[in-house]
Amino acid sequence: MERPRILIVGGGFAGLECARRLEHKLAASEAEISLVTPFSYQLYLPLLPHVAAGVLTPQSVAVSLRRSLHRTHIIPGGVIGVDPAAKVCVIRKITDEVIALRYNYLVLAPGSITRSFDIPGLTAYARGMKTLAEAAYIRDHVIAQLDLASTTLDQRERESRLQFVVVGGGYAGTETAACLQRLTTAATRRYPRLDPAMIKWHLIDIAPKLMPELGDKLGNTALQILRARGIEVSLGVSVAEVGAETVKFTDGRVLPCRTLIWTAGVAASPLIGTLDADTVRGRIAVTAEMRVPQFDSVFALGDAAAVPDLSKGDGAVCPPTAQHSARQGRRVADNLVAALHNEPLQPYYHKDLGLVVDLGGKDAVSKPIGVELKGVPAQLVARGYHIMAMRTNVAKFRVGANWLLNATAGDDFVRTGFLARQPARLRDFEYTDAYLSREQVRQHAQSLLAKG
């Protein structure tokens, strides 16, 4: 008898945890597990700001899937469409070859992309912080601005190169601004012509509070830390227009600036749009057991799914965080095992473990299990949490060693140049235009399956 195929879409927190749990709970004879992902690593997203700041090497946060998984078949590519009626996924391999793959059970964990808005110049000039390539690019770009500013005699050019804007007052934006500001401040010791006062960092958000999930006390503490370090934080403000050398804010200010880092939230993967399914603010609607009601044997979770938050009720859905995604992955695996054994499925219920925000150096705020911390104790909790959350001992060692090296030897200001010729627009690194329409998916599925 042919083994049922469980096909997992996405190798992030949700997809990896689901595959790991399935390997643990199912014998090889019970199911064939396949995972589709363009990269052979799980990106540890919370530490991307450390990569952008050069505190961690890119390899440190790229957790090897082949070290984490032992009998899951990893398909190098991306799912560009799903035909649930035929139980077929259309996959574009990294060679651009398009194939169709049947499944018995489908786990949709394609993650999210950077959310953007119809702001003039945004898609042309903004840089994201959602992928490893974007973090590496931003590091090179920021150091390039220092290099160029230190050699130009044009005061206007120098001013535009030394003003940096980060949009988004959530965890990603706040940590990105904090870590990169620390890098550029340290850099002035290596650039004799640059005065620290010349370098200006701006963090803006349309919300009235910085990281409201932290609560008023810790949120204000984080705000005070940033402002004490010279970061100008503007709340209730967004971007009105972006140019090659200027940024205009909604409050009327126009800044000379060549670096806009956009972290203003995420949107579900465009893959969700290829399915004829109900959505909640762009995320596919699922039950508390994470089943997609319209389709047989399809589960969805992570950033791309609107999973009911039973701990809050009143129609609330779980926020798109790594903590939720990892736990949902394990619950979906348990439910897949239950489905194979004809047992009842269990709902996902989240128990919050707290929040950690690493602001670089000795600065941090944390709220583990409801206890509010700041400074070195918060930093120890934050970094300890990240080490424990990484899925291989090699990754844990690399991250710990990088932190130790940076703490003792300081920062380097080296441009690798690997991505110097890349346009680096949001769609270039996040492949937002790679997906098929529903009709194209059906046609591809029928055509490719007919060929066998």
pLDDT in tens, 348-391: 998 877 889 999 889 999 988 888 999 999 999 999 999 999 98
Segment 34-56 shows an average pLDDT of: 96
Q: Which domains does the chain have, with CATH numbers?
A: 5-114+267-352+429-450 (3.50.50.60), 116-264 (3.50.50.100)
* Cβ contact 115:265 at 8 Å: yes
Look at residue 432 and tell me whether its pLDDT is greater than 80.
Answer: no
The CA distance from 316 to 305, in Å, is: 13
Residue pair 44/61 in contact (Cβ under 8 Å)? The answer is yes
Nearest C-alpha neighbor of 61 from the set 144, 126, 166, 134: 134
CA atoms within 13 A on the CB side of 103: 29
Question: What pLDDT score does 439 carry?
Answer: 80
Q: How confident is the model at residue 302 (pLDDT cuts 50, 70, 90)?
A: very high
Residue 44 pLDDT level (bands cut at 50, 70, 90): very high
Contact in structure between 167 and 239 (CB atoms under 8 Å): yes
Q: Please give the Cα distance from 306 to 327 (Å, whole number).
A: 14
What is the average per-residue pLDDT within 132-147? Answer: 93
Query: Above 90 in pLDDT, residue 418?
Result: no
Report the pLDDT averaged over residues 188-207.
93
* Mean of pLDDT values over 81-89: 92
3-class SS of residue 296: coil
Q: What is the pTM of this model?
A: 0.93
Radius of gyration of the chain, Cα coordinates, nearest whole angstrom: 23
Query: Stretch 277-304: mean pLDDT, rounded?
Result: 96
Distance CA 384, CA 168 (A): 25
Which residue, 228, 146, 65, is CA-closest to 411? 146
Residue 42 scores a pLDDT above 80: yes
Rounded CA-CA distance 368/290 in Å is 27
* Residue 256 near residue 245, CB atoms below 8 Å: yes
Spatial separation of the C-alpha atoms in residues 96 and 98, rounded to whole Å: 6
